[in-house]
Structures are given as C-alpha cells and as structure tokens.
Amino acid sequence: MQEAVIYVWVSTARQATDGVSLDSQLSRARKWCEAHGHPIASKHKDAGISGAMMRNRPALKQALDEVCKRRGVLVVYSLSRLCRSTKDAIAISERLNKCGADLCSLSEDINTATAAGKMVFKMLAVLAEFERDLVSERTCAALAHKRSNGYAGRRQTPFGYDVDDDGRLHKNTAEQGAIRLAQRLRRNGWTLWGIADELTRQGIKTKRGKAKWYPAQVRNILAKADRAS
C-alpha cells in the first residue's frame, strides 16, 4: 500500500494564526488515509504566505520531494490548496507521474492513479484558472468604469478631494487652496523643500493628517494638479 504525504496550505496571516483551515484540511486528509489504508509518512504545511506561484511555497516543494522519493500518494484538501495556475498543475501532475507517485484531491474526488483521474485533474485546473481570469477582468472593468465616472477607492483619494459614501470624488476646498498656494510658490521659484516647509508652517495637513510636509509630497500634488489642468 502506498504511503501518504499530506500537504495543506492557507494564504492569509489570520488563517495561519487561528489554524482553523489548516486543522480542517489535516483532519480530512487523515480520515481519508485511514479509510483507504494509506499509512501517513509525513505532513507538510505552508501557512500565511502567498501561493500564486508554486516556487513561493517551501513546504510544497518538500512534500513533492518526499512523495516522489517514496512513490506514494500526495493528499491535498482541494486543487486550490495545491496550485493556482494550469502551468503548475500540469507540472505537478507530470512530475508525480514520472516518479511513479499519485495525487488525491479530496474535495474534487480526484485520484490520479486512474486515467480518468488524470484527465479530470487537468480539466479542473484549466477551469479554475479560467474563472480567476474572469474575476480579474470583471474587477478591472468595474474599476475603469468608476474612474471614468469620477469615482475612486478610498485608499487612492488624491490630495484636494474627498470621497463620499458612494465612492464619488468631491473637491476639498481647503486642500484645493493648498494646491493653488503650492503652484503659486513654485511659479515664483520656490524649491520643493521651501514649499513643504511653508505648508507645514501654515498648519496645512497632508492627506493622511500629518502636520509635516516633505518635498516628495509636494512634487506629487503638483504633478497631479498639472495633469488635471
């Protein structure tokens, strides 16, 4: 009977801290191994790290090395816990096949010990990547539409504007006055350092509410004002 190598992964620090998702994956994998008579050789986990690229997850590399050495079965909770791209999915499948190891994905009920399992694994990987691409396209389109209609996200609110509850930009009178002051001083030959010191002296706050201005911030608001004019 093949030995099992269990691999689990969570991508956020919160999940890694509370451990719920990791425990759930491990529990499901252990039960499957017990039910199918696969002794567990090792368990590997990547916690709280980005997994967009397979090479960014050291525990996954260890799990693949281990399962290939043992010619065992790699057990994962779902394909999304294993890889995030078709390229990586196919690379893993081919590596396991080459060394005589198998893959079991519990959520999709895939077992690459069978020809059908290999085919379904590759098809689902392609569909999963396609869905992520669609979500990305819809998000980009929505943001472009909002920008074209005067909307902006709160984190991107430029100096001189405020954002209402609907995400629409409105001019901030006081900040617009500060921009005009900075433009006037610049036309009169003031340096960025000098303008920053003057804005600080007049008690004008930055967009983040800081009392101290720096040349880079002045350069930024002047450049955005020039583009808007």
Angstrom distances, CA of residue 36 to CA of 27, 66, 76, 97, 104: 14, 20, 15, 20, 11
Mean pLDDT of the chain: 82
Q: Do domains 4-136 and 154-228 have the same CATH topology?
A: no
**Is residue 155 scored above 80 in pLDDT?**
no
Q: Which fold has domain 154-228?
A: Hect, E3 ligase catalytic domain fold (3.90.1750)
As a whole number, mean pLDDT of residues 49-67 equals: 84
Angstrom distances, CA of residue 116 to CA of 70, 105, 121: 23, 13, 8
Q: What is the pLDDT of residues 141-153, one digit of tens each?
A: 666 666 566 555 4
Domain ranges of the chain: 4-136, 154-228
- According to the CATH classification, is domain 4-136 in 3.40.50.1390? yes
**Is residue 119 scored above 70 in pLDDT?**
yes
pTM score, whole prediction:
0.52
